Structure 1
Amino acid sequence: MRTYGKRLIRGAADKATKQAAESRDAVLWDILLPEKVCRCKIQGSSELIIARFPQNWATVPEWAKPGQAVRIAHRGGIRGYIEVVGFGRAIPMPVSGSATPTPDTPENAILVGCLIKAIPQTPGMSVYVTTGRARFSGVEYAIPAVAMTAGSAFKMNMGMAMGDVAGVLNISAPSAGQFRYDLFSLSPSLIVTKTAGAAFTTAESKPVLPSGHLPIGYLLVRGGQTVITAADIGQIWSAPVPASIAPTATDNGTTWSILASVKDQYGNAITTSLGWNITATIASGDGSIVPASGNTGSGSSFTFTYTEGTAGTLVNIEFTVSQGEYYAYGQALLQL
């Protein structure tokens, strides 16, 4: 009975010890999320101590940031086991050194602004970049506006507000059927620059960012392009596919010659080794069209002949390409 009594007392003492937890404030120094541990400093000590945090943390909570006060607990019954249990109330002072960790130098980045935009008035083969703020080597800078000087690309009739333009850059189009990416970037001297890429047809390529520059964005330029509009900004290249049919009608008296051309998503003529099968249908009005369908062969177009019906009629002729996974549509309106 005496032995049994000692076991009861020892078990009660162990249970009370395990439930006891001494807690104190600490300053969070850094976090190792994969290992589920962090390092802290406590009052009166400059040593970094290891503390664990809950295993179900997939991401670090808002309050658990380096330099913040946290509450740590010394779990009773487990030697040297320290864990973070919540946010603290005060930042303890160490014996020597800083009370908080030295923050890392933030990465270079464009913080706000620096957007590529099309010229709002009298657009042509030019774009402009807006002003904004950027960070280099941990220091924030305001990106200055360019002046409207004689001989500069920034002109009065472009419709941009002075003070909002960090740079106006001229663009040249590649040869017909080709594409090119131009890269716009910000140099450490806060100057907007353009790096022209190599022209391509079937496999895209992009220019390399100059050393030390911050990327602003890419502009896709099409072969033979003569104007850059807002729809061109942010466009991403994809392999050309038939997207539309552009008909051109010529009045020959009582008949019309209609040239139906297959275009890709960029408005360029597109061909295929087997040719495109174009079908012509009179959707409204009368008269006749021959042939009912035709193949473009090695080219991108086919000519149909429409014979007029009732005078004064508005005739709608629809053209379609439905070939495997490709589909394109177009229509011609003829006033007789």
Structure 2
Amino acid sequence: MREGGRIMSVTIRDVAKLAGVSASTVSRVINKSAPISEETSARIYRAMEELKYVPNDIARSFASGSARAIAIAINVSDTRSYANRFFNNTVFGIETAAHRKGYNFIITSANDERGGMGSLEKLILSKKIDGLVLPVSLLQSSVVKLVEEMSFPFVVLGRVKHAGSKISWVDISNEQAGAASVRYLLGKGYRRIGFLTRGDKELFTRDRLDGYRAELTRAGLTPDPVYRVSPAAAFDETKLYLKTLFTSAAAPDAVICCDDKMALAALRGARELGIRVPEGLGILCFDNTEVTEMAELPISAVDVDTFELGRIAAETLFRQMEKPDFGASRSQITTKVIERGSTMKK
């Protein structure tokens, strides 16, 4: 708003005057603290838009006792877990849910700052956020103790194996993903199905293995040994290991790969050996990425809706914030197989 050539700050009273209501009515509409008629609310929003009025978040926080913000904590030193498309989609799902609720969304580090108080702890203790999404890899951090002592609303992103009665979590149904992968490959006529992994340290890998083994057992088949490739192995090293496996007496006729790079190594290793894919070897992986989609022979993959994972995590958090006695909630997102050339037998 301009006055005498100067830009003046627009106040809630200016909005009230233009809309023909009291300042307290404008405040109730902004904070959604009392029912106001649709006609009056629409008039107030039109006035806010015309005046380009932006509510003062600090003042609103004092008035409502809410910061109108939620956060997700990350480990900034763990680029493998956080600097990828899947995590970005999850973050977008959280951001979308927060936006619909009228909340700001903050990404912050859970790392301590030179041994002192970290930025996440500062946000919580200064009441700059109302709730927290905490990746399961950070569950053992000092942050958990803090949020539990303060009865601060939080949701874990990832399954918690021995969760206490008060911990809510949201995850992909990894056991279902492992079982669905086997069921799909059996349906394509494969019988000696191997599982290729870079280790079973993570709970999600162990869950996939449980589903893999259970589905083969249900089909009356003995699960193949689990083939482990060093997490530090470069692409060519992985390919060499797989070529040795594919020419062994116990060679599988199909493999489930833990990630897209291993699946691509399997594809290229098989082709260098003259093994026809998918006729002589079926390849399926858990990463539905551009790598699997744009490989020289597109690779079948398990598709995970990580946007939905983030959205459900945020909505679970909001329910906790609105109803402190809401109790623990556990949700799992199912997966589906995207069929491509690497398993599409003629």
Structure with greater helix percent: 2
TM-score normalized by the length of structure 2: 0.25
Larger-gyration structure (1/2)? 1
TM-score normalized by the length of structure 1: 0.26
Q: Which has the higher contact order (CA 8 A, sep 6+)?
A: 2
Structure with greater strand percent: 1
